[in-house]
């Protein structure tokens, strides 16, 4: 029932054929290659991948936060049908924070150290809503209550360095929610936190998501976290989404050797009693555009075709894809 209602929910964000390349005189990196996905209203999409798989770059590209002078971005990113990549800076600044908000990985460094947390929350509210300082203060107070920060009133006057890591991340979430965004981009929001605090923040995000009906893209390298929060999952490798689908389907019946490898190399609910396996080798060098299956170097099932053909998305069901040339052969 839950999934049915999501299938008919409108698409709020669609990314198609996104390519991000960093070019400097010294090196070039094809960080994101032909990434396509969509996000529905009220849906949580977990993007799972290791460091350098392009997941954070994809997220930054959605808000056009990548450094302009060294980045080339191709493809299309549409929010409610409106193209982000070509819109004016003015329109972009309305959307940033207003419609699409971001939660950053390091709460310690993503607050400006010389402004109070309250000032930083209210300046966004005033910028987007154009309201008075006292109205913004009131809203900020409600937000801190929403993210369950105790004695919120005093906390508004705190500087970021006067808060603990978990408290700062709660404040960061409050800041992200301050202008009632439709889409939340969460860039490993729990990675920098203690394990116990991680779970608190995760549960908080989940509660708030349900309460407000938010759409979230949750980027993480932690398979446990992505299972905990996601409705759908997209597994990234070498700047590509190698497998995507409904969370339960992907976890229980992985259709890409990399997903399979990830699952068997991590401890999670389905892994009890099984032996852990490490994926051999290291992530691919992205200095050239892909010319084959980027996982073929490390894949135990790869054959000659895999090493010189770029795999297409193979449709396996409703919004269920795998980028593998040998589906069915290796299972």
Partner 1 sequence: MFSYFIKRLLYALPIAIGVTVFVFSLVYMGGDPLDAVLPDDATAADVQEIKEIYGFDKPLPVQYIRWLGRAITGDFGTSIGTGLPVADELGRALVNTLILAICSALTGFPFAVFLGTLAGYNHGQRADKIVSGFAITGVSVPHYWLAIVMVIVFSVELNILPSLGMGPGGSEDWTLDWAHAKHLILPVIGGSIISMGIIARSMRAAVAEILNQEFVRALRSKGLSESRIAYHVMKNALPSILGVVGLEIGSLMGGSILIETIFSWPGAGFLLNEAIFRRDLPVLQGTILVLAMFFVILNLIVDISQTFVDKRIIRT
Task: Give the shortest CB-102-to-partner 1 separation in angstroms.
Answer: 4
Q: Which of 93, 282, 285, 308 binds partner 1 (CB under 8 A)?
A: 93
Q: Which of 29, 31, 32, 102 binds partner 1 (CB under 8 A)?
A: 102
Q: Which of 17, 83, 112, 253 binds partner 1 (CB under 8 A)?
A: 112
The smaller minimum CB distance to partner 1, of residues 25 and 273, is found at 25
Question: Which 52-71 residues touch partner 1, going by CB under 8 A?
Answer: 60, 63, 65
- Structure token pair of residue 79: 């929010």
Q: Which of 15, 57, 101, 173 binds partner 1 (CB under 8 A)?
A: 101
Interaction of residue 95 with partner 1, rule CB under 8 A? yes
Interaction of residue 159 with partner 1, rule CB under 8 A? yes
Task: Give the shortest CB-110-to-partner 1 separation in angstroms.
Answer: 4
DSSP code for 58:
H
Angle ∠(252,271,293) on CA atoms, nearest 5:
60
Percent helix, strand and coil across the chain, each to the nearest 5: 35, 25, 40
User: What span, in angstroms and rounded, lies between the C-alpha atoms of 95 and 79?
Assistant: 9
Interaction of residue 98 with partner 1, rule CB under 8 A? yes
Residue at token pair 């982000």:
84
Say how many C-beta atoms besides its own lie within 10 A of residue 123's C-beta. Answer: 17
The smaller minimum CB distance to partner 1, of residues 26 and 304, is found at 26
User: What span, in angstroms and rounded, lies between the C-alpha atoms of 35 and 75?
Assistant: 9
Interaction of residue 111 with partner 1, rule CB under 8 A? yes
Residue at token pair 């992985």:
254
DSSP code for 40:
E
- Determine the interface stretch with partner 1 among 91-99, 239-247, 279-287, 320-328 (rule: CB under 8 A): 91-99
User: What span, in angstroms and rounded, lies between the C-alpha atoms of 31 and 51?
Assistant: 11
Binding mask 200-239 for partner 1 (x = CB under 8 A): ----------------------------------------
The pair phi, psi for residue 284, each rounded to 5°, is -70, 155
Q: Which of 72, 74, 115, 289 binds partner 1 (CB under 8 A)?
A: 115
CB-based contact 287:294 (threshold 8 Å):
no
Interaction of residue 161 with partner 1, rule CB under 8 A? yes
Interaction of residue 27 with partner 1, rule CB under 8 A? no
Sequence-ordered list of residues with C-beta below 8 angstroms from that of 95, at least 6 positions apart, any chain: 79, 84, 87
Binding mask 167-206 for partner 1 (x = CB under 8 A): --------x---x---------------------------
Interaction of residue 164 with partner 1, rule CB under 8 A? no
Interaction of residue 127 with partner 1, rule CB under 8 A? yes
Interaction of residue 94 with partner 1, rule CB under 8 A? yes
What is 109-126 written as a DSSP string? TSS-TTS-HHHHHHHHHH
User: What span, in angstroms and rounded, lies between the C-alpha atoms of 21 and 30?
Assistant: 5
Say how many C-beta atoms besides its own lie within 10 A of residue 158's C-beta. Answer: 17
The smaller minimum CB distance to partner 1, of residues 120 and 322, is found at 120
DSSP code for 287:
S
Interaction of residue 114 with partner 1, rule CB under 8 A? yes
Run of H or E including 49: none
Q: Count residues binding partner 1 (CB under 8 A).
A: 29
Interaction of residue 96 with partner 1, rule CB under 8 A? yes
Positions in the binding site for partner 1 (CB under 8 A): 60, 63, 65, 92-98, 101-102, 104, 106, 109-115, 123-124, 127-128, 159, 161, 175, 179
């Amino acid at each position: 029932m839950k999934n049915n209602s999501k299938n008919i929910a409108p698409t709020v964000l669609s990314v198609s054929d996104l390519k991000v390349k960093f070019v400097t005189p010294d090196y070039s990196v094809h960080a994101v290659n032909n990434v396509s996905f969509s996000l529905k209203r009220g849906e949580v999409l977990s993007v799972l991948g290791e460091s350098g798989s392009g997941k954070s770059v994809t997220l930054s590209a959605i808000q056009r936060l990548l450094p302009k002078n060294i980045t080339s971005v191709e493809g299309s990113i549409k929010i409610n049908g409106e193209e982000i990549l070509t819109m004016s800076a003015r329109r972009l600044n309305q959307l940033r924070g207003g419609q699409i908000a971001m939660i950053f990985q390091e709460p310690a460094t993503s607050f400006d150290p010389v402004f109070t947390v309250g000032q930083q929350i209210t300046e966004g509210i005033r910028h987007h809503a154009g309201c008075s300082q006292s109205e913004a203060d009131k809203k900020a107070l409600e937000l801190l209550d929403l993210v369950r920060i105790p004695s919120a009133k005093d906390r508004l006057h705190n500087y970021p360095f006067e808060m603990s890591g978990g408290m700062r991340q709660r404040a960061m979430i409050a800041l992200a929610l301050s202008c009632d965004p439709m889409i939340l981009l969460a860039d490993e929001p729990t990675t920098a936190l203690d394990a116990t605090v991680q779970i608190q923040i995760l549960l908080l995000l989940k509660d708030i998501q349900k309460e407000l009906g938010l759409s979230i893209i949750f980027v993480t390298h932690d398979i446990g976290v992505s299972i905990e929060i996601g409705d759908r999952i997209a597994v990234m490798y070498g700047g590509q989404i190698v497998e995507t689908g409904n969370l339960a389907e992907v976890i229980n019946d992985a259709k890409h050797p990399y997903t399979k490898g990830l699952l068997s190399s991590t401890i999670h609910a389905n892994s009890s009693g099984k032996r852990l396996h490490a994926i051999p080798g290291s992530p691919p060098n992205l200095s050239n555009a892909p010319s084959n299956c980027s996982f073929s170097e490390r894949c135990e099932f790869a054959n000659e075709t895999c090493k010189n053909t770029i795999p297409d998305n193979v449709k396996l069901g409703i919004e269920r894809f795998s980028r593998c040339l040998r589906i069915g052969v290796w299972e």
